[in-house]
Structure formats: C-alpha cells, structure tokens
Structure 1
C-alpha cells in the first residue's frame, strides 16, 4: 500500500469539510447530545425511583448496550458511500488524477469519516458529563474518559468496516447491502450462532445440548473467545480492561487465571485488528479494480 502523509491529510480534510458543509456533522452532534445527555438523565430517574445511589460507573454499564447499537449504525452509515459514491459518480477519477494513491485515498476516507463520528461523540459525552457532575455524587473522571476513548476506537472499527465494504463495490446500493449485512451479522446473528455452536458441542460431548453456557466463569473458554471476536464483543472486553472489577457487572467477566486471549487487554488488540484487517482487504480489492 503506497501512502503519503500529506495526501492522506488532504483527503481526510476534504472529507471532513464536506461533512461540515452538508451539516451532517451538526446533525450528528445534536443526535449524540440528545442521546448521551438524555441517557444520563434517564438513568438518574431510574435510580432515584429504585432508591439506589447514583454512580457514574454504573451509568457507563447502562450506556454500553445502547452505545453498542448507535455506534455501529452511525459508523456504517457514515462510511458506506465513502468510496462507492466516488466510483458511482465518476469523481474518483478526478481524485486519483491528483497526486493521491489509492491507499492514501482509502486511509484519508477512513480518517475523515472517523473525524465526523469522533466530534459528535466528544460533544455528546461532554454534555453528558455536565449532567453527571450536576447530579451524581460519585464520579470518577478517569473511568468516564476511558469509556469515551474505547467508544471512539469502537467507532473507528465500524467506520473501517464500512469504508472497506465501500471500496469493494462499485455502487452505493451494493455497499448499502454490505453494511446492512455487517450490522445484522455482528449485532444479531453473532451471539445466536455462538449459542448454536455451544448447543452442538455440548450435545456431542455431553449427550445433552445446552444453548446458554451461563456467566463468564461457567462458560468454556472457546465460547468466551468467540464472543470477544466480534467488534461488539471486543468493545465489551475492552471496556473491562479500563474499568474496575468490583462492579455490579463483574459476573459477566472471566476472573482468575485466564488464557492470554481472554485477558481484557487482548480485546483492545482484537478491536484494533477490526480497524486494520477490513481496510487492508478493501484496499486489495480497490487497488485491483478497473475504474
């Protein structure tokens, strides 16, 4: 992959400025402000009604599931037209007639679209932090900042997947089918398939099929690793690497001596691979394409 830093910056800057001009960045910022601020306030109402003490750490776990849906949706939608749209309109020929290699175009698109996602995340969770500071008696900034940082990496992974899919197709309609398939695969089917495999394995080895393996310390290591292999599973594991174990969700995390691939830090490696591998595969297809 031939890359030039100045070329990558130029493509990323243009992509980001296009989002600003089209008001996409502002729309996403409003969406994330309403989402993050609204969820923080909603959590206070739920906890106050139950009589429990408010704590920002518990809010993070409360946010994990909705963030695990919003970020994939936003990242995939942001990236699917990035290259396919340029190919479909023919503007990719103009782009490549400038001193930009195909690798630089792809990486620039990744950074530009990720910037369009990162700014709303920062703005939205900054507003949520104000709500937290105003209402929550227990707030540890480092955990909240770690949550935001892992969320940005999670978003980068999904933007990379979308840009890769876009680079593998020559039309936005095919790219749209690709991102819908990716969303369904990672957010709906991955876990179901894992339960199905667990059922078959236990049926063969124990003579009695079991779908649900229980909590982390009860499930076999291969099943836990399978869960961590998806972007969403890696996101959950990466969060545990940044948060304390003595939380109300600790039963979902494997404890004690575990293989390195179940260590929380390894989820960060998996998440990073979801950034690198799809983009590289997309580059191989894009570089060989006759435009």
Structure 2
C-alpha cells in the first residue's frame, strides 16, 4: 500500500500532539460520573455508561479539531506541493490522511475506554465485557465518521479560519439540534412539541437521531439495553421510570408498540456509516477534480 507511509506520518502527528491526549483525558474525567440513576439503569454496567457520557460530548468536536487541518494545513505551509510530487494519486493522499488521523484518534479513544473500564472495575466490580466491546466499536465508528467530516472540511476550504468556522458551526448546530428539529417540526406541521409529552411522530424522532452523536447514543443505549433514544442512558432510564416527568425524547415513552420500523436502534449504524462515507466521497470529488493548491 503506497499510501501507508503517509498514514503512519499522520498517525504520529496525532499521537505526538497534546490534543489527542487532552481529548482522552476529557473523556475520562467527564465520563466518570457515578449517579444513582445510572446505577439503577444498568447496575455494574454503569462503567460502560461512563464511556458513552464522555465520548458523546467530546469525541465529535475533538475529532474535528484534530482532523480539520489535515489538508488545509498542507496548503497554508506550501507542503502540498511535496505531497503532490509523491508517487500517489490524489485519492491515495486523501485516504492516507483520513486513515492516519483516524488510527491516531482511535488509539487515544481505546486508551480512554480502557482507563474508564479499569476505574469502573475497581469501583463497581465486573461488568459485561461484550457490551463494553460493542460500545468501543461504536466509539471507533463515531470517531471515523468525524474524521471523515473533518477531512471533508479541510478539503473544501481554502483558509484555516474558514475551516475553523466550519467546525464551530458544526458544534453549534449539534448543540442546539433538538431545539432546531422541534422548531422546524412545529413550523411545518403546526403541532407544538412538548419534550415532557412528545407527539408520537416518526419523522420527528428520526430527525433527532440524524447527528453523529445522536446516532451514537441510540446505538450505545441499545447495547446497554436501556431504551430507544438519542439521550444519554441515565436520562432514558429516568424518562421511562413510572411517575417521572423529564425533558427527553424516548421512543418507548411516546409510542405504543415501539414505533415505526425506521426508528429501530440498529439503523443508527446506517446513520454513522453515511456520516463516514458521504464526506469522504464529496472530499474525493473536490480534491481529485479541483485545484489542490
């Protein structure tokens, strides 16, 4: 594989930077949040819940910040001319960049997951190892999707400040995604949305899980067995508890019979794969057909 030296170089760039390990530390420090609701929801598997809590908040933006300069940085320094002079096609350059960044971020996420698993093992005792492995696989898929998005931003922009603006825009949109979706739904249908008693609308619930972090939460909640929702696991459990009212969208609380087929948690895999594939396809189209300089 002629692109493998480039991928190794990108991986070293990530792993020798402070950013990857700051990201891992933030996942551990924010993720380790013992709560009564979390323990009641999954028992000793709360250790796996710690991974979900830390990853869903920090990994999407962290992966973007560690990958959005992958090509724009080469342009601003002029080293893109050296890359283009290598015996590599533009597609191989793009693939090497994306693969190297993903592996570097993936190593940091594996380290964070193992550290959280060790802390949880000491604090709470044994947990379900297969569920931890499933959550780790979902975490790596989320990281891969976000690296793909970061490489896309780096490919289609010409200035570092523009690429950074794209990262900030992504963060703001996903941060307020629930409010955006409910506002658009109300404007289109005329039906007000009360998160305490959400309408049983398939399109509404589908839209809420179309962001990478939302799809990740749906998938890991399925692995943990707490319910079908883009919320964090302990929030889902609290929402489904008898006599408890909480501001959250959970399929089992809104629908009788589990909702329409397209809300099945397994389809969140499709959402993450789309976020992985589409940005890379678009980046390839731009990078191979446009002016790389």
Which TM bucket (shorter chain)? Answer: 0.7 to 0.9
Note closer, same or farther for the CA distance 1:51–1:12 as it changes in structure 2 (3 Å cut). closer
Determine the structure 1 residue equivalent to 2:94: 106
Determine the structure 1 residue equivalent to 2:251: 254
Alignment length (residue pairs): 272
What is the RMSD of the two structures over their aligned residues, measured on CA atoms?
Answer: 2.8
* 8 Å contact from structure 2 (residues 24, 108) kept in 1: yes
In 1, the alpha carbon distance for the partners of 2:213 and 2:41 equals 29
1:13 paired to 2:8:
yes
In 2, the alpha carbon distance for the partners of 1:57 and 1:142 equals 11
Pick aligned residue for 2:113 from 113, 118, 125 = 125
Determine the structure 1 residue equivalent to 2:183: 196
In 1, the alpha carbon distance for the partners of 2:121 and 2:127 equals 7
C-alpha distance after superposition, 1:141-195 (max 9, x if no partner) = 112222222111111111111110100012222111111112212232x221111
1:232 paired to 2:213:
yes
Pick aligned residue for 1:210 from 192, 197, 202 = 192
- Secondary structure of the 2:209 match is helix
Cα distance, 1:211 vs structure 2: 3.0
Determine the structure 1 residue equivalent to 2:153: 165
| Structure 1, unpaired ranges of 5+ | 1-5, 204-208
Note closer, same or farther for the CA distance 1:34–1:66 as it changes in structure 2 (3 Å cut). closer
Cα distance, 1:213 vs structure 2: 4.6
Which aligned pairs between 1:180-195 and structure 2 lie closer than 5 A?
A: 180-188=168-176, 190-195=177-182
In 2, the alpha carbon distance for the partners of 1:111 and 1:170 equals 22
* 8 Å contact from structure 1 (residues 213, 219) kept in 2: no
TM-score where L is the length of structure 2:
0.82
Determine the structure 1 residue equivalent to 2:246: none
Cα distance, 1:112 vs structure 2: 0.8
In 2, the alpha carbon distance for the partners of 1:244 and 1:180 equals 33
* 8 Å contact from structure 1 (residues 229, 270) kept in 2: yes
The worse-fitting range, judged by mean Cα deviation, of 243-252 and 159-168 is 243-252
In 1, the alpha carbon distance for the partners of 2:266 and 2:127 equals 24
1:220 paired to 2:167:
no
In 2, the alpha carbon distance for the partners of 1:268 and 1:14 equals 30
1:263 paired to 2:239:
no
Determine the structure 1 residue equivalent to 2:245: none
1:97 paired to 2:85:
yes
Determine the structure 1 residue equivalent to 2:278: 277
* 8 Å contact from structure 1 (residues 76, 158) kept in 2: yes
In 1, the alpha carbon distance for the partners of 2:155 and 2:69 equals 9
Determine the structure 2 residue equivalent to 1:206: none
In 2, the alpha carbon distance for the partners of 1:66 and 1:131 equals 14
TM-score where L is the length of structure 1:
0.83
In 2, the alpha carbon distance for the partners of 1:184 and 1:74 equals 14
